[in-house]
Amino acid sequence: MKKALALSLALLLVFGLIGCSGEPAVTNPEPEPAQAQAEATPAPAAEQGKKDFASTIAWDAEYDVVVAGYGAAGATAAITAADEGAKVLLTEKAPEGQEGGNSKYSGQGVMGTDDADALFKYIQGMRGHFTHTLPDEMIRAFADGAYENRQWLIDLGADANNLDNAFGSGKPWVWNEYPELEGADHCICYLVSGKNFDGSFYYLLQDNVDKRSDNIEIWYDSPAVHLIQDPDTKTILGVQINKNGTMVNVRARNGVVLATGGFEANMEMMANYLQQPYAYVYAAPYNTGDGIIMAQEVGAKLWHMSNSAGYLWGFLPPDAERCLTVTPSLGILVGPNASRFMNETTSNRHGRINIGGRWISMPVPLPTWYIMDDAQVSANKIILSFSDGNKDEIEKGWIIKADTIEELAAACGLDPAALKATIDAWNASCAKGEDALYGRPADRMFPLSTPPYYAMKLGPTMYNTQGGPQRNERAEVLDLAGNPIPHLYSAGELGAMWPDMYNGGGNLAEASVFGRIAGRNAAAPKN
């Protein structure tokens, strides 16, 4: 059944490649239906004289390596392949100026280490009980590659002083979100500029791509749509790309690298895999799971689809493409039943909180309302980019204002009596200095007693998803039986190695480590 399905997929793909799909024009004219059937259905090898399947495709361009996705992983793979002597096509879904994926918006910390064995132990600890979904071989490859990250960054042009002087501290940034685990003290995050959230790591990669323009060609507004696979050998021969609205078939003589990111901006995938009906997009709006779909079409096995680097609280301004993250620290959070559901000031580790000794994703009622009073709102910016006293945001209606709690509840679609009861109970707890429900510290308990009252509608957001096609320590994408799909590689967030807990800097490090591995192996000449 699986073989028949794979063959059917291959036949469908071939139809599209030779001009019968109805897609935008390719180079050869549309054949007659009978002719198309004859061309699309490979004859037995003996009948066609062992004709190479690749020769049946009308190729519009040829390169040694095709890299899909121009974020950190794709840039690293392209740079590495070019340095191996390969001619590389780097194709990107976003328009020029909007490339970069999540890499551009992240904190810019690239995980490294001064002791690969210690980092190996640390990642093993974060893997927890998911030993069946993250083999030691993958952790070993990551830890060894992370050890090389500092020198690799310097080779790309990073200032060693910045790497070793994070935030002006005079030392590297040891960022271990799980300090209780063995090896944690050797988890280092390198910052190209010595600061974070400035895009410096991504721009360093971009500069190095530009320096290799003789070997790297970039196509913007050109999403990869399908992989072109030999139906008999299962070898990946190239990529079908929608280049500025025209479908073209691009031959990849040595290999294809998928680096298209995750599926944070695909609400159907979010619902199916993360059981989240919606989420506000924090980072790249172009991360819609394209690489996952392409990999599935050629029989790839998926892993870690239920994991993400989140959740966080997000606020989505009207008509905005990306949300703003919120750290609730003043008022209280209530769900659609107008009741509190957690200690609002609980520290989290990339959206994970400790429940019964295990770090799990924060609860995110839909929607969540952030309730505050005038004393809190007039004296503090709710989000750093907001105006003083949040006056502009109140005027825009981003922050709902009401003279009474009952009026506020009605404006939010909440039960007025329920919200009044919740706030009364909260104020009583503040007077006692004890949160009997959720243990919020007394010095972080502030009564809601000064009208007018305010509310912000919050929703779940995250830095990125982690799931996608499974890869091995050679960055080869695996099929359903666990075997490498020939000439297909992946790197970065697409099929990331993190099955459970996550440490900041891990995704950029994985983009770097497996980007180098994928680029090197994809560039190697093939028979």
CA 388 to chain centre: 33
Q: Which two tokens stand for residue 288?
A: 């819609």
| SS3 assignment, position 147 | helix
Please tell me the predicted confidence (pLDDT) of residue 319: 87
Q: Which two tokens stand for residue 76?
A: 């690293």
The Cα 130–Cα 119 span in angstroms is 17
Question: Around Cβ 180, how many Cβ atoms within 10 Å?
Answer: 7
Please tell me the predicted confidence (pLDDT) of residue 51: 63
Full-model pTM: 0.89
The Cα 431–Cα 420 span in angstroms is 17
Which residue reads 């976003």 in tokens?
Answer: 94
Instruction: With beta carbons less than 8 A apart as the criterion, state whether 75 and 100 touch.
Output: no
Alpha helices by DSSP H, listed for 402-468, are: 405-412, 416-432
Mention every residue, 6+ apart, whose C-beta is less than 8 A from residue 32.
Answer: none
Q: If one looks up domain 54-307+466-527 in CATH, what number appears?
A: 3.50.50.60
The 3 state secondary structure assigned to 498-509 is: CCCCCCCCHHHH
Mention every residue, 6+ apart, whose C-beta is less than 8 A from residue 288.
Answer: 263, 265, 266, 269
Nearest CA among 111, 105, 127 for reference residue 176:
111
Same topology between domain 54-307+466-527 and domain 311-462: no
| SS3 assignment, position 66 | strand
Question: Around Cβ 80, how many Cβ atoms within 10 Å?
Answer: 26
The Cα 69–Cα 261 span in angstroms is 7
| Phi, psi angle pair for 419, to nearest 5° | -65, -40
Nearest CA among 449, 274, 435, 412 for reference residue 337:
412
The Cα 357–Cα 165 span in angstroms is 34
Q: Is the domain covering 311-462 a CATH 3.40.50.300 domain?
A: no
| SS3 assignment, position 82 | helix
Q: In 58-106, which ranges are E strands?
A: 61-68, 88-91
One digit per residue, the tens of pLDDT, for the chain of length 527 reads 444 434 344 434 433 443 333 333 333 333 333 333 333 344 444 344 446 999 999 999 999 999 999 999 999 999 999 999 999 999 999 999 999 999 998 999 999 999 999 999 999 999 999 999 999 999 999 999 999 999 999 999 999 999 999 999 999 999 999 999 999 999 999 999 999 999 999 999 999 999 999 999 999 999 999 999 999 999 999 999 999 999 999 999 999 999 999 999 999 999 999 999 999 999 889 999 999 999 999 999 999 999 999 899 999 999 898 999 999 989 999 999 999 999 999 989 999 999 899 999 988 899 999 999 999 999 999 999 999 999 999 999 999 999 999 999 999 999 999 999 999 999 999 999 999 999 999 999 999 999 999 999 999 999 999 999 999 999 999 999 999 999 999 999 999 999 999 999 999 999 999 999 999 999 999 97
The 3 state secondary structure assigned to 279-293 is: CEECCCCCCCCHHHH
- Domain extent listing, the chain: 54-307+466-527, 311-462
Query: Looking at residue 191, what DSSP letter applies?
Result: -
Please tell me the predicted confidence (pLDDT) of residue 321: 87
Question: Around Cβ 29, how many Cβ atoms within 10 Å?
Answer: 7
Please tell me the predicted confidence (pLDDT) of residue 22: 34
Nearest CA among 513, 508, 501 for reference residue 473:
513
Nearest CA among 102, 493, 75, 472 for reference residue 262:
493
Which residue reads 């190239």 in tokens?
Answer: 238
Please tell me the predicted confidence (pLDDT) of residue 417: 98
Which residue reads 């503040």 in tokens?
Answer: 430
Mention every residue, 6+ apart, whose C-beta is less than 8 A from residue 409.
Answer: 338, 415, 416, 418, 419, 420
Give bridge partners of residue 101 from the DSSP assignment: none
What spatial distance separates the first Cα and last Cα of the chain, rounded to whole Å?
30
Please tell me the predicted confidence (pLDDT) of residue 44: 42
